Each structure stands twice: as C-alpha cells, then as structure tokens.
Amino acid sequence: MEVILTEDVPNLGHMGELVRVKPGYGRNFLLPRGLAIQATSGNKKQLEHHLRQLEEKRARLRSVAQDQAARFENLCITITRQSADDDRLFGSVTNRDIESALAGAGHEVDRRKIVLKEPIKHLGIYDVELRLHSEVAASVKVWVCAS
C-alpha cells in the first residue's frame, strides 16, 4: 500500500514523502490518526501542491520548536524520591515524572518527546534530551534528590 505522509513519522519518513507500507499498518494506524493519506492517482497529482503547503507547515513547526528550545536552555527541574542508603531509588524516574515536573514549572511537553535511554534509578543530576522536532532538540537538567 502506498501512502503520502502528512506528518513526520519516526522510522518511516518525513512529511510529504510517498512511502510503501504494509496494508494493515496504513489502514489501522496511519490513516485513522491523520498521519498519512492514500496515494491514489488524484492525490499523487495534488502532491506537488501539498508539498509546498507541507514545507510551510514544517517551517512553522520548526520555528515553534526552536522558540520552545530557547525557553528550555537553562531550565533545571527537581524531582524528589525516596532512596536507600546507597543512593538507589525505590522505584524509578520515568518520562511521565519528568513531564509532570515540567508541567509544574509551567512548560507543557508531550511525554513522547522526552528521550530517556532507560529510567533513572539513582540520585544525581541528569541531562535529559527533549526532541521537540525532528531537527530541534533541547536539554533539561533533572536533579533527582532524596526526600
């Protein structure tokens, strides 16, 4: 099945690209969520017009993400958790915890944009990457302290 992507999809392609996907993935995931449209002959003809519009949309989203990244430049957040004597946490700090701490600081960020290689399980200071756009990333310092 061929589809035209209307938004960037990780590990698949960028906005405006014509990609071939399995029918179930396109029909059950991409099309209902508005991430793609079917690549019919009429849609292929309109693709050139849509590419200009999509490029403008991509530029707008990139500028919004760059403005957001500038606000996160020197931001530090503190998360308190119970810990053992050897600085290990009872539990862990995940991207949901970081999302709620950022919301408490007045910054709304989707948790899927917070990149953690693995959950934080020790006390300390961590640099956490925020992928605000496919081309824009920001870094936030997260202080994990004992309560």
Q: Give the contacts of 136 (CB within 8 A, at least 6 positions apart).
A: 62, 65, 66, 68, 69
The residue to which tokens 């405006």 are assigned: 16
What percent of the chain lies above the pLDDT cut of 70?
Answer: 99
Asked whether residue 18 carries a pLDDT value surpassing 80, the answer given is yes
Which pTM does this prediction carry? 0.66
Asked whether residue 17 carries a pLDDT value surpassing 80, the answer given is yes
**What structural domains does the chain harbor?**
2-69 (3.40.5.10), 73-146 (3.10.430.100)
Own/partner pairs, 24-29, CB within 8 angstroms, 24+ separation:
26/1, 27/1
Confidence of residue 126 (pLDDT cuts 50, 70, 90): very high
The residue to which tokens 């519009």 are assigned: 53
Can you give the pLDDT at residue 52? 80
**pLDDT (tens digit per residue) in 67-116:** 988 988 889 999 999 999 898 999 899 999 999 999 999 888 888 899 99
What are the structure tokens assigned to 101, written together? Answer: 């701490």
